[in-house]
Structures are given as structure tokens and as C-alpha cells.
Structure 1
Amino acid sequence: MASGSKSSPPLTTDENLGSKEPSICGGNEDPESSETMKEGRDRKPPRHLSVIRHSASTARLGFDLGTLALMSPPECQSGFLPLFRSGSCSEIGPKTRMEDEYVCIDNLVSYLGSPTNFPSPGAFYGVFDGHGGTDAACFVKNNILKYIINDDHFPVSVDKALKSAFIRADYALADSPSLDRSSGTTALAALIFGRSLLIANAGDCRAVLSKRGRAIELSRDHKPNCKIEQVRIEKLGGSVFDGYLNGQLSVSRALGDWHMKGLKGSSYPLIAEPELQDTILTEEDEFLIIGCDGLWDVMSSQCAVTITRNQLTEHNDPEKCSKELVREALKRNTCDNLTVVVVCFSPDPPPRIEIPRARVRRSISLEGLHVLKGALDSNI
């Protein structure tokens, strides 16, 4: 059973569903300060052709005379302000042990007990797919938010704070004598302030945004045989064999796995540095799905968005949506642990999309039919 965190009470249907505690602090605390805070398959279903990688204007957080405020570009300012509500589900699947972890915090101000000048609304979500044991995933889940908030770059440069937090967590895994150095985890974190959504990803978890029912991928799967990753790996002296980094690991970015890395600060093929994607949310953005590769191994991004949207129009419950995605992945014979988080940006369900009927009835002409038949007969 996966352990997770959420600021609202849990809703579970069986013993394997992820629990949601009111705190992300617990075991495997940061060894530096206790007082302050996969094996996956390479083959995945083709991503739907309508999926478009989305790059929006960047919002920035800054101080104004000591007051923390969210500042978006003028062209993006509107009356829209998201209201966050989420649901999650985590299942062991066909694996013998559960190595996934997740975090769900719908209200950062309330959760952190921050002063009133903290950006609001604010939310934080994360999924962590462990491998080689549970140490790395559990440690990162318990400490990553603390590393972000306490970073010197936060909140002036949230992107730098996120990158720094990933690296700091990675180094802490190397330094802790109580944690297994051969344990590792992929990590995907979603930090939202107002309308600014920032995704940080290291590994093959995935974040997908629904824009009026169209799937927008906000992260890239870091697989060793991905061309960009393979070039980087080989430049650093590594190799990709049968889709595995140095024949051992099915991801090219992960935190931990220090048995595969050199000294801290040195260059090695397996890195913990995340890729970032910043998006300004609009009225068209309905919900976000983040999940470990146990889901994406058997389901395209567009399929997940379609299933979730249909479910929301029926019952408007993100918790039930996450469970439905897990059930569907199990029906499709996923071979991994499953963790899914669905985050809605409005209290209302997505509007139904009606496709107008065509006024002119389209059909192929007799001439066109003959041309098609001739082409098939001649194997053109």
C-alpha cells in the first residue's frame, strides 16, 4: 500500500488504495535537519496525434517591499482564478511490493501555516516512482516541498528553487547512512501559485493537462532510448542497451541510485536534474493528470484525458476519476505499480462539448470509388 499525503480526508474502496495523511513529514526525514521539515517497460501506447506540447507565457513570483505577490504578464491577466480540488489512487498492481509515493496538497497556505502575504491560491502535488526499494521515494516525498520552500531562490525564482530542491534531495540520499544507496526514484512535482503552473520532472512520470478535452503533455518521458537523452548519455560515457541505461535502468533521470553515479558534483549519465514546464492556466484548462508510468505504459495521454473528462461530467469527483484510471490500467494488464492524481481547477464539471452536424452529407463518388479500388488492386 502506498503512502501519500493530502489536505482533505481520504476516500478509499479497498485496502490497496493510497492513504492520504495530513502531513508529508514522517519517516526518512532529512538527515541534515529533523526539526525543519522502476523498473518500467519501454514500450508504451502511441501518444494520440492530437496531443500538442504546450508552452505558455511564464509567470514569475517576486517580492515587492517585502510582500510576496504573484505577478503574471499583463496579457495573461483575467478574472479567472483556479480553485483546486484533487483525488488520488494508488495500487500495488501485479508487483510483489509497492514502491510508489505521492503528495496532494490543495491549499498550501493552510498546510504550511504561511502568513497572509503568501501567494494564494497555492497547491502542490507530486508522484514518485521508486525502484530498488522504497527508501528513495519515501524520502523525496517527505522532504521535497521543504527543500523548495526553504531554498534561497524561493519565491523570487521558483524554477531555480525547484531544480535546486531536486539536486539537494539527490545529494541527501547519497549522504544518509540510514538509506539504501541503491534505491532510486523518479519524481514529478507540480507547484501552482494563482494561475501559474510549474511542472518539474525527472524520470518517466507524466503530467497531462486537459484543455477543453484536448490532452496537452506538460512533461517528457526520460527514457534512455529517447534521442535527446541517448545523445546526452553517450556524451557522458554511458551507453544504452536494449532500452536500458548501461543495461541496468529503464530511465535516464532519477534521484538516488548512487551505485550508478560517481562522486557528488561529477558528471554522470544518470542525472537528477528535472526538466521544467511553466504554464499559465486559463478558463479552457479543466484538470491535470499526473501519474507514474504504470498508467502511461498502457494508456495514451489523450485516452486518460477522455476517460477523466467523461467521468467528471457524470459525477464531478476527481477521486473517483483517479480510481477509474487505475481500474482501466489494470484491465489493460499493466505490469507495474499504479499511482494517479487528478487535479481539477474549477468546482464545476467540464462543459459538455457538442459537435455540430455537418449540413452537407459527404460521400465518395462513383469515380472516386473506382480510383480507390484500382489503387488497392495495384497495391499502390
Structure 2
Amino acid sequence: MATFVRLLVSQAERVVSRLFKAERGEGPGSFLEAPRTEKLLEQGEGGGLRYGLGAMQGWRAHMEDTHTAQPQLPGALASWAFFAVYDGHAGGTVAQFCARHLLGELVVGEAFTGEGESPEAVKEAVREGFLRIDSRMQALARAEGWEHAGSTAVAVLVSPGHLYFINLGDSRALLCRAGRLTFYTEDHKPSRPQERERIENAGGTVLLQRVNGSLAVSRALGDFDYKAVAWRGQTEQLVSPEPEVYELARCPGEDEFLVLACDGVWDAFDTEGLCAFVRSRLLLGGDPQAVCKEGSRDNMTCLVVCFRGAPGTSQAALQKERELDAHLESRVAELYGELQEQGAASLVAIFRCLASEVNPSLPPGGGLVSKRAVIMEAYERLRRSYEAQMSGPCESGAPC
């Protein structure tokens, strides 16, 4: 599925939105003049799970995303798995610390050592683990000078019988079951009534949908200058480190895949759309190594985890994809000829023409932008052929 990594394209329409969403203190210097598009790719398997990850720095000046992917935990928890994506802001220190240490803070205590599995005990252990690592980091941050750094976290802890969705901030995770979007986490935004109430009780305000007009998430690890009210508990501060933890019983015959992604991906896809798009790519025989990166100025990390019930290769889907590619190549040739007569045969013009056409065969959730590689290759062939003709000898044999 390496080609899956190159399916989507940056779009200028996202620029203003992305700038508006910039974290506190970020100005033009927080972004590059051109995106860094080198991909970090990772894949693995274990315990009946396969996973693939793609990450890209994008337009951001620094890569602040990190992740954890353990399809099979060690020792007595060998039948468990843990996957997480951390989206850092104001530096990557907190995200990197979490990638190294958070799992060790979660899977401790009787919830993981006793006989049987108690979902309520597991969820409480996860909550306590988040609070514990936040306290641990606070002492380090003050000593080392990174108290302004923070990170969101989205994770899934997989046990033999349950899926534990863990969310803190505005990264997001989803579950596809029996071909449908079955569950997804809810972002922690300051505008949510429960979040606004806590922020205002702690003496803060919600301005421009941000904590004190600055931070775009209402829950995060780190961000210790938002956790400075000494007489309030950890979960009562302007920004809370307490995750929401959801538990779903596993359905081995129906569970297909999980997607965990940072907000840079969700800026480009809605939840239903990304679920449908990932499933459509798996039907084409792709492995889960993927990054979903349609137009965003942010860092982008996407982690796809496939269960045994994930869809396999469909010959009908492959044939439909071949027919779609052939149709697009034909239309590019037609449009190139028409636009060349007008002196306007640019790639942008061809994309605009194709975008104005209704094509129900385009990949669900991905749309025309997911076929960018096919369109660009067809365009480049035509452009090179045209330029070769224009630079070749005239019919008389003399140079033109």
C-alpha cells in the first residue's frame, strides 16, 4: 500500500483555515515556504493484527507527531495490543515522552495482573495512568524549561475481549465493523459545553473557540502553564489531562479495522469519508501501510490497524479501478487537446474541468483528489509529447 501514501494533494483552500487553527504564539515562522513531503512509513503484525503507519511533516516547521504501535504486548499481556498517535504542539517534547513512557504507566496494577478482565478496572487504570504521567512530566518540564509544550493523544488498547478507545484532545480514532463506521471518538474542543464549564470555573475564557483565545484543545498532556491553579485538582484546570475512555466488546467476525489519526488528517477528511476511503483501498489489495494527507498545513500521521476480518482483495473492485483509471486518462487527453487550442492546457485547468464533472466511480471518501497520481501521469505524458513535437524538425527538414 505504499502508493496509498501518495494519493492525496495539498490544496490552497486549506491555508487560511490552517493558519487560523495555529497554536498559540504561532505565526508565519511556524510554517515552511514549501511542504516537507518525505514519508515515514512503518508496518508490522502480531497477535492476529496487521498495522501500517504513514507520517509526514507537511507545512509545519517541525515534525511534532509521534506514535506507539505494539501489536503484541510483552509477557503476561501477550494477547493485548496498544496503538497510539500523539500530536504535539509548541514543540515535540511531550509527544516524544508519551511515546516512550505512556504505555508503561497504563498497564500496571490489578486491572492487568488479576484473573479475568474487568472493563471498568481497565478504564480506571488508563485514567490514572494519564494523570500519573502528566504529574511526572510537570516536574521535569519545570526543571528543563519545556512547560509550554503539550500533546494530544488518541489510543486503542486491544484486549482479547474488548477495544478500549482512549482520547485526549482533537486527534481521533474510528472503528469499521461489518463495512460500516461503528464508533469514533469525540474531539475535546473548548466550545463543548462540559469543557467550557470547566474552563470558566478555573477562571478562564473561551475566545475564538480557544482556551483564553490561544489553545485550540481543552484537554491535553503537558501545557502546564494552563494547569497553574494550585488549589484545583488535575482534572479541574483550564486544560485537563484526563482522557475519555470508551469500551466496546470485540466482534471477531465483523471487526475490520481501526484508524487513528492526528487532526491534520481530520482537517482533510470527515470521519465517514476516511472510513469509506480506507476500506475501498483495502479492497484493492492494499496493506494497511497508509497516511491520509489531503490538503493541510499541519503535521500528518495516520495509523491503520487491520483485524482478521478486514476486507481482502476484490476482483470486482480491481476491475472497477482499472476502468476508472482508463476513463480518467481518456478524459485528460480530451481536455488537454481542447485546452491546448485555447493556450490553457495546464494541470490546474484540467483538474478544474474534471472536478466539475459528476463521476460516481470515484473512490468513496477520497474523490477526485485520490486519483491525482493517475491524472498527473497522464498529463505529463501529453505535455512531454507535445513539447517534443514543438521542438522537432519542420516538415521541410529545417529547424523550426
TM > 0.5 fold call: yes
Q: Which amino acid aligns with 2:108?
A: N
The structure 2 residue matched to 1:167, chosen from 127, 131, 134, is 131
> Which secondary structure does the structure 2 equivalent of 1:92 belong to?
strand
In the alignment, the residues of structure 2 paired with residue 200 and residue 312 of structure 1 have an alpha-carbon distance, to the nearest angstrom, of 25
In the alignment, the residues of structure 2 paired with residue 269 and residue 142 of structure 1 have an alpha-carbon distance, to the nearest angstrom, of 26
Q: Is the 8 A contact 2:219 2:241 kept in 1?
A: yes
Report deviation, 1:349.
2.5
| Structure 2 residue aligned with 1:269 | 238
Report deviation, 1:127.
0.5
Cα shift readout 1:172-195 (whole Å, capped 9, x = no counterpart): 111112361111000112111113
The structure 1 residue matched to 2:38, chosen from 16, 28, 35, is 16
Q: Which amino acid aligns with 1:124?
A: F
Q: Which amino acid aligns with 1:336?
A: D
Report deviation, 1:132.
0.7
Q: Is the 8 A contact 1:286 1:350 kept in 2?
A: no
Q: 1:349 to 1:213 in 2, by over 3 A?
A: closer
Sequence identity (%): 32
| Structure 2 residue aligned with 1:45 | none
Report deviation, 1:17.
2.2
Q: Which amino acid aligns with 2:105?
A: Y
| Structure 2 residue aligned with 1:30 | none
| Structure 2 residue aligned with 1:193 | 159
| Structure 2 residue aligned with 1:338 | 300
Q: 1:138 to 1:159 in 2, by over 3 A?
A: same
Residue correspondence of structure 1 range 213-252 to structure 2 within 5 A? 213-252=179-218
In the alignment, the residues of structure 1 paired with residue 109 and residue 85 of structure 2 have an alpha-carbon distance, to the nearest angstrom, of 21
| Structure 2 residue aligned with 1:99 | 64
Q: 1:151 to 1:181 in 2, by over 3 A?
A: farther
In the alignment, the residues of structure 2 paired with residue 21 and residue 298 of structure 1 have an alpha-carbon distance, to the nearest angstrom, of 23
Q: Which amino acid aligns with 1:344?
A: C
5+ residue gaps, structure 2, are 7-35, 115-120, 317-400
Report deviation, 1:236.
2.9
In the alignment, the residues of structure 2 paired with residue 170 and residue 309 of structure 1 have an alpha-carbon distance, to the nearest angstrom, of 36
> Which secondary structure does the structure 1 equivalent of 2:242 belong to?
coil
The structure whose residues are more often helix, as a share, is 2
Q: 1:171 to 1:123 in 2, by over 3 A?
A: same
Q: 1:239 to 1:217 in 2, by over 3 A?
A: farther
The structure 1 residue matched to 2:267, chosen from 272, 287, 297, is 297
Report deviation, 1:21.
10
Q: 1:155 to 1:270 in 2, by over 3 A?
A: farther
In the alignment, the residues of structure 2 paired with residue 242 and residue 279 of structure 1 have an alpha-carbon distance, to the nearest angstrom, of 35
In the alignment, the residues of structure 1 paired with residue 83 and residue 285 of structure 2 have an alpha-carbon distance, to the nearest angstrom, of 23
| Structure 2 residue aligned with 1:144 | 102
Report deviation, 1:125.
0.3
Residue correspondence of structure 1 range 120-139 to structure 2 within 5 A? 120-139=78-97
In the alignment, the residues of structure 1 paired with residue 185 and residue 79 of structure 2 have an alpha-carbon distance, to the nearest angstrom, of 23
Report deviation, 1:200.
1.2
Q: Which amino acid aligns with 1:273?
A: E
In the alignment, the residues of structure 1 paired with residue 106 and residue 94 of structure 2 have an alpha-carbon distance, to the nearest angstrom, of 17
In the alignment, the residues of structure 1 paired with residue 145 and residue 127 of structure 2 have an alpha-carbon distance, to the nearest angstrom, of 22
Q: Is the 8 A contact 1:224 1:230 kept in 2?
A: yes
In the alignment, the residues of structure 1 paired with residue 311 and residue 164 of structure 2 have an alpha-carbon distance, to the nearest angstrom, of 23
Q: 1:19 to 1:135 in 2, by over 3 A?
A: farther
Q: Is the 8 A contact 2:171 2:261 kept in 1?
A: yes
Cα shift readout 1:116-147 (whole Å, capped 9, x = no counterpart): xx355321100000001111000011100111
In the alignment, the residues of structure 2 paired with residue 146 and residue 174 of structure 1 have an alpha-carbon distance, to the nearest angstrom, of 17
In the alignment, the residues of structure 1 paired with residue 49 and residue 238 of structure 2 have an alpha-carbon distance, to the nearest angstrom, of 37
> Which secondary structure does the structure 1 equivalent of 2:284 belong to?
helix
Cα shift readout 1:159-179 (whole Å, capped 9, x = no counterpart): 111111111111111111236
Q: 1:273 to 1:155 in 2, by over 3 A?
A: farther
Report deviation, 1:265.
3.4
Residue correspondence of structure 1 range 98-117 to structure 2 within 5 A? 98-108=63-73, 112=74, 114=75
Report deviation, 1:313.
0.8
**TM-score, normalized by length of structure 2?**
0.62
5+ residue gaps, structure 1, are 1-10, 23-81, 355-380
Q: 1:218 to 1:12 in 2, by over 3 A?
A: closer
Report deviation, 1:215.
1.6
Q: 1:152 to 1:206 in 2, by over 3 A?
A: same
**TM-score, normalized by length of structure 1?**
0.66
| Structure 1 residue aligned with 2:376 | none
In the alignment, the residues of structure 1 paired with residue 310 and residue 178 of structure 2 have an alpha-carbon distance, to the nearest angstrom, of 13
Q: 1:168 to 1:152 in 2, by over 3 A?
A: farther
In the alignment, the residues of structure 2 paired with residue 260 and residue 309 of structure 1 have an alpha-carbon distance, to the nearest angstrom, of 40
Report deviation, 1:150.
3.0
Q: Is the 8 A contact 1:148 1:154 kept in 2?
A: no
Report deviation, 1:351.
8.2
> Which secondary structure does the structure 2 equivalent of 1:318 belong to?
coil
Q: 1:236 to 1:154 in 2, by over 3 A?
A: farther
The count of residues paired between Structure 1 and Structure 2 equals: 270
In the alignment, the residues of structure 2 paired with residue 155 and residue 201 of structure 1 have an alpha-carbon distance, to the nearest angstrom, of 24
Q: 1:211 to 1:340 in 2, by over 3 A?
A: same
| Structure 1 residue aligned with 2:256 | 286
Q: 1:279 to 1:162 in 2, by over 3 A?
A: same
| Structure 2 residue aligned with 1:378 | none
